[in-house]
Amino acid sequence: MTSSTNQFLKPVSTLINEKGNLEIGGCDLVDLAEKYGTPLYVIDEKTLRSICRDYKKAFEKYPNTHMMYASKALCTSAVSRILDEEGFGFDTVSGGEIYTVYKSGVDMSHVLFNGSNKSYDELSLAMDLGVGRISADNFFELALLNEIAQSKGKVADILLRITPGIECHTHEYIQTGHLDSKFGFDLTQIDEAIELIQNEYKNLKLHGLHAHIGSQIFETSIYPDEIEIIAGEISRIEKKFGLKLNEINIGGGLGVKYTQKDAPPSTYEIAELIINKLNEVVEKYNIEAPTVFLEPGRSIISTSGVTLYTVGSSKQVPHGTKYVAIDGGMADNPRPSMYQAEYAAEVANKKDTNETQKVTIAGRFCESGDILIKDIELPELNEGDILCVYNTGAYNYSMASNYNRVQKPAMVLVNDSNSDIIIKRETLDDLIAHDIIPDRLKK
């Protein structure tokens, strides 16, 4: 089976240059750290475009496939522009993500708005900007969306998000397809929703069903299982309601290689399973071949990104752990503290050193749980060394905070020896820009 970029630990352009330093996108990582400061998010454009093309090629045998990048993984204007150039649509989950892709010049008919508690203002914005599909998550939202569409004299094009009852073996916080979930309509609620749409909500047009079964998925059988359930529901709905639904959205969730022990399936392996299953259910249920939407996020952007840190203090616990502190941590990458996520790392300026020692990389934030990587073998670390942590493109910047009132890092895009700022580093003035002291407290 053909390998794909989501199976790589490092960006595809990673190498060791003549200085003995790590290089990505033709840019020396030590030079990037010196030029832009650390912590620093680095996105390799070549890797990003490579995985987009893997997906496109993998699914070319099923022409009615639309790729919708899950923007929650990393939503910036530059990343949105690249994904748009590669022919991807966008799965958005907030007004902020909708506005970001809109301002990036994206064709909004290629955008889906998803989420479990969309606000009136967000739904109104989605309709005003011409979002192509809205994935309705619950009964309250159906009524609210119909009200908004009616007030604007429009018809909202929707999917119903359902919980298919599939439970993947991933962290419980990132399982979204099992029955006891905050997301979507239970299978027993679908008929009531359709009856409301057909009989009362005249400003809603239902096109299909949407399901999402989780994230960081390594199980290959889970997507065919999901398709079987959705196709069965589409067939049943047509027979019961005379309603032909011709769109299915099977979500995303394909895993990536965070450490050497991870072995995610390739996009080509997943595509073959999905396409074969689609062809099977079309014949089995005697339904028209549906238009299929996929929502890859992590597997699109994660491998493209690394984060650079500068090493600071260290502490050797007598007869115990050696802690090495960096100038970032849980505020720029909360995943280790939230999900017990694991990462691989290398020292960018000591690639020619073979001797290593086991250390724990500690963050700078005032929490005992701010540990980035436990027990990793690295060359001896000294103050000023540059640590490169791999596979940080997804859910690092997008989940970052200003904890301890620390500024969020900058982000640079690298390609062909060029580096460009795509997110400015926050300043101290940025931190207090929205603070207000009431007049009665002013001196």
pLDDT in tens, 409-429: 999 999 999 999 999 999 999
* Residue 355 tokens, joined: 């001797």
pLDDT score for 164: 85
Per the CB < 8 A criterion, the answer to whether 42 and 305 are in contact is: yes
Q: Kind and range of the H or E element at 308?
A: strand 305-316
Residue 174 pLDDT exceeds 80: no
Residue 175 pLDDT exceeds 70: no
Strands 386-390 and 185-186 turn out to be unpaired
Residue 77 pLDDT exceeds 50: yes
Residue 29 pLDDT exceeds 90: yes
The CATH number given to 45-301 is 3.20.20.10
Share of the chain above pLDDT 90, in %: 88
pTM: 0.94
Share of the chain above pLDDT 70, in %: 95
**Residue burial 421-430, b: 16+ Cβ < 10 Å; e: rest:** ebbebbeeee
For residue 1, what pLDDT band results from cuts at 50, 70 and 90? low
Q: What is the pLDDT of residues 179-218, one digit of tens each?
A: 556 778 999 999 999 999 999 999 999 999 999 887 888 8
**Average pLDDT for the chain:** 94
Q: What DSSP state is assigned to residue 329?
A: -
For residue 172, what pLDDT band results from cuts at 50, 70 and 90? very low
Q: What is the pLDDT of residues 347-390, one digit of tens each?
A: 999 877 778 999 999 999 999 999 999 999 999 999 999 999 99
Q: Residue 32: which residues within 8 A CB-CB, separation 6 or more? A: 40, 42, 308, 412, 414, 419
pLDDT score for 216: 86
Q: Which positions are catalytic?
A: 366
Segments making up each domain of the chain, as ranges: 5-42+303-431, 45-301
The CATH number given to 5-42+303-431 is 2.40.37.10
pLDDT score for 167: 60
pLDDT score for 181: 60
Residue with tokens 């650390």: 38
pLDDT score for 116: 87
